[in-house]
Amino acid sequence: MLRYEGTLYRPPSEAESLILQATIGCSYNECTFCAMYRDKRFRVRKLEELRAEIEWVASRAATEVRKVFLADGDALVAKSSFLLELLGLLRAAFPNLQRVSCYASPQALEVRSVAEMSELRRGGLTLYYLGIESGHDEVLGRLVKGVDSARMVEVALKAHAADVKLSTMILLGAGGRSLSLEHARESARVVNAIQPRYVSTLVMTPVEGTPLWEQAERGEVDELTPLELAAELREFIAGLELRGSVFRSNHASNYLSVAGSLPKDKPALVAALDGVLASPERARFRPRGLRGL
Ligand code: SF4
């Protein structure tokens, strides 16, 4: 059977995927806003345990598994030889497998070479989820992301060089009130430099047990209003110059759910957000109760 350790997290677009915990926790685990793996000590799981889990699923639903998401926080940091063997097991077990994906921290992208990522991509690992969070260096520093914007672009472009697709996340509200629009513009600049296949936004939310929560308790964090976040999102989308990306703000933390293909839908998305800013009383903000991590 599948043995999950602790709370599982996966991107919204992996709702239909088989989630396999290739690693436990996050090897970096320093980002101030992230509560996902605070309670876990990072380790790579034993291949034999994973083999048994894959065989168990294959004995029940071998032809139904089309997508696999490798949890937890940054499975890409595990040794390339381990990941290659794991991908081989997945391909052998699931004849209709179309893609394998994982979160990739900037730290994991730093340690994996382009040659390794290419080999893993040929083995089926074709999509990474990368939390850029911000393109603003001061904001990245406050979040303790561990890299500045220039390094973020460099490591992301390694994935591109290996022909791996990127799905990137930006954290709305991360610059607080004073840096809100600068954070939006700088984030657009970095996303433009990376040209990811998918771009999405989340809203920064202090979660108990994180340094961000403690900062919020001390009154050091501005939580932006839905309208301020809409203005930030508008600035971000207006700054995007993408050649072929899908944009979504469908994560549960967003107050507004908007989506489109860029560059085609950019004018419509900006106009829709201008409409929200001009007539906020007519906007359909999601109630807080429906927002989660
Ligand atoms: S790298 Fe990702 S999973 Fe790890 S602490 Fe930062 S946000 Fe959380």
103-121 pLDDT, tens digit per residue, is 999 999 999 999 999 999 9
Rounded Cα–Cα distance for residues 20 and 16 (Å): 13
Q: What is the pLDDT of residues 181-207, one digit of tens each?
A: 999 999 999 999 999 999 999 999 999
Query: In this structure, is residue 4 part of a structural domain?
Result: no
Which of ligand 1's atoms lies nearest the C-alpha of 29?
5
Specify the pLDDT at position 289: 44
In sequence order, what are the residues at sequence separation of 6 or more whose Cβ sits closer than 8 angstroms to the Cβ of residue 73?
9, 23, 25, 26, 27, 28, 29, 36, 37, 42, 103, 105
Specify the pLDDT at position 17: 97
Query: In this structure, is residue 290 part of a structural domain?
Result: no
Tell me the CA–centroid distance for residue 270 and ligand 1, in Å.
30
Q: pLDDT band for 3, please (50, 70, 90 cuts).
A: confident
Ligand 1 — pocket residues by CB below 6 A? 26, 28-31, 34, 36-37, 73-74, 105, 131
Query: In this structure, is residue 289 part of a structural domain?
Result: no
Which of ligand 1's atoms lies nearest the C-alpha of 36?
8
Q: Give the domain CATH number at 87.
A: 3.20.20.70
Using CA atoms, how far residue 4 sits from 73, 74, 84, in Å, is 14, 16, 22
Say yes or no to pLDDT of 55 above 70: yes
Number of domains comprising the chain: 1
Query: In this structure, is residue 6 part of a structural domain?
Result: no
Say if strands 245-248 and 259-262 run parallel, antiparallel, or are unpaired: antiparallel
Specify the pLDDT at position 91: 98
Q: Which amino acid is at 134?
A: S
Tokens of 10: 């996966």
Buried b vs exposed e over 209-247: b needs ≥16 C-beta within 10 Å? ebbbbeebeeeebbebebebbbbbbbbbbbbbebeebbb
Half-sphere exposure of 32 (CA within 13 A, CB side): 20
Say yes or no to pLDDT of 282 above 90: no
Rounded Cα–Cα distance for residues 102 and 167 (Å): 10
Is the distance from CB of 99 to CB of 127 less than 8 angstroms? yes
Query: In this structure, is residue 247 part of a structural domain?
Result: yes
Query: In this structure, is residue 224 part of a structural domain?
Result: yes
Query: In this structure, is residue 3 part of a structural domain?
Result: no
Say yes or no to pLDDT of 293 above 50: no
* Domain with 193 in it: 15-283
State pTM to two decimals. 0.94
Query: In this structure, is residue 293 part of a structural domain?
Result: no
Tell me the CA–centroid distance for residue 220 and ligand 1, in Å.
21
